[in-house]
Amino acid sequence: MNFPPFPIHRPRRLRARGAIRGLIQENNLMISDLIWPIFVTEGSQPESIDSMDGVYCLPINQAVEAASRAIDWGLRAIAIFPRVTPELKTSGCEEAWNPNNLVNRTTRAIRKAVSDQIEIMLDVALDPYNADGHDGLFRNGEVINDATLECLEKQALSHAESGASILGPSEMMDGRIGRIRAVLESNGYPDVIIFSYSAKYNSAFYGPFREAIGTEQLLRGSKASYQLDASNSDEALRMVQRDIMEGADAVIIKPGLPYLDLCQRVSREVQIPTFAYQVSGEYAMIKAASKRGWINGEQAVMESLLAFKRAGCRGILTYFAPFVAQWMQGIEN
């Protein structure tokens, strides 16, 4: 598109005042765009996470309180991840589908306290429960796909029964969305939503998360045989299309900022609701630089979240959600 030359065309006229900038703003971030990931623990006191300043593993009663505060702040969804005690981690991952496991009990407690005022998303993957640290069953030095699917079916059903309204399969096994959708349909849970981690990359940015859930010392080898290679975007698009065909309602790109190009490709080319996960490593970098005074933390957070919206994401999973919600409402943190 051609524009008239200066001085007829002065782009700065539209940047001169806040009201004008607001009128022509192309993308907006709203509190309702954010999903807040929280960690839960069996303990009676919150447990700090060294690499995630300001984030804690919460006992169940405090997770319930956090959900209530989230509603007050205008957040509409939380995602719950467990720090499972070491004695419950096994090679068979049986605790993953225990009806009384940590996330299922937390979900029931939140539902009892706030009913359906907030969406509860639970992860479908075996790594928090796996003595080998992998997202699937680990046998003879490799992750076994088809046997893992049977575990994921049972895990997904236990989460639906506990009151989860959204399931987030994140383990990147072949065929898992179809199997999970089928077990939900056949057991009377057709309305449970699947937000599939269709494009989850083998990334260095997950380190603080693994500390949070207690898997960083357990992982044997890498996850390269099932998570995506950072070089590939066409492959990721194929994974998105496959998951849609199997019954996914929306897709998640993980990590977020290093893969903005993929967020944009999926939202434009596939046109399914697309979410990004601003992962633990992204959070830790911004927090660390802000704490040292190297960047303006609040501005960096807002800028990073707007990048997701600009790339076409409908929403973002971010550990900054409670801070942003309070900033936007003028509440003192």
Other C-beta atoms lying within 10 Å of the C-beta of residue 303: 12
pLDDT at 143: 97
Secondary structure class of 12 (helix, strand, coil): helix
pLDDT at 233: 97
For 1-37, the pLDDT digits (tens) are 788 999 999 999 999 999 999 999 999 999 999 999 9
Confidence of residue 221 (pLDDT cuts 50, 70, 90): confident
- If you ran DSSP here, which 8-state letter would residue 134 be given? -
pLDDT at 88: 97
What are residue 80's DSSP bridge partners?
A: 38, 122
Residue 82: asked if its preceding bond is cis (omega within 30°), the reply is: no
- Whether the predicted pLDDT of 332 surpasses 80: no
Point out the catalytic residue in the list 112, 154, 223, 254.
254
- Whether the predicted pLDDT of 74 surpasses 70: yes
Torsion of CA 145, 148, 152, 153, to 10 degrees: 90
- Whether the predicted pLDDT of 301 surpasses 80: yes
- Whether the predicted pLDDT of 53 surpasses 90: yes
Point out the catalytic residue in the list 200, 223, 287, 309.
200
State the amino acid at position 180 in one-letter form: I
pLDDT at 258: 97
What are residue 204's DSSP bridge partners?
A: none
The pairing of beta strand 137-139 with beta strand 56-58: unpaired
pLDDT at 330: 85
Separation of alpha carbons 71 and 31, rounded Å: 11
Separation of alpha carbons 87 and 83, rounded Å: 12
| Assigned token pair, 326 | 């309070």
Q: Estimate to the nearest angstrom the gap between the alpha carbon of 9 and the chain centroid.
A: 43
Residue with structure tokens 């005022």?
A: 117
Could you tell me which of 158, 123, 126, 167 has the C-alpha nearest to residue 145?
126
pLDDT at 244: 97
pLDDT at 333: 65
- Whether the predicted pLDDT of 48 surpasses 80: yes
What are residue 79's DSSP bridge partners?
A: 37, 121
For 110-149, the pLDDT digits (tens) are 999 999 999 999 999 999 999 999 999 999 999 999 999 9
- If you ran DSSP here, which 8-state letter would residue 173 be given? -
pLDDT at 216: 81
Could you tell me which of 26, 73, 2 has the C-alpha nearest to residue 325?
73
Active-site annotation holds for 200: yes
Separation of alpha carbons 213 and 254, rounded Å: 17
For 238-292, the pLDDT digits (tens) are 999 999 999 999 999 999 999 999 999 999 999 999 999 999 999 999 999 999 9
pTM for the whole structure: 0.95
- If you ran DSSP here, which 8-state letter would residue 97 be given? G
Confidence of residue 331 (pLDDT cuts 50, 70, 90): confident
Active-site annotation holds for 254: yes
What are the structural domains, with CATH classification, of the chain? 30-329 (3.20.20.70)
Mean pLDDT score, 57-75: 97
Residue with structure tokens 């359906």?
A: 116
Confidence of residue 170 (pLDDT cuts 50, 70, 90): very high
pLDDT at 61: 98
- Whether the predicted pLDDT of 101 surpasses 80: yes
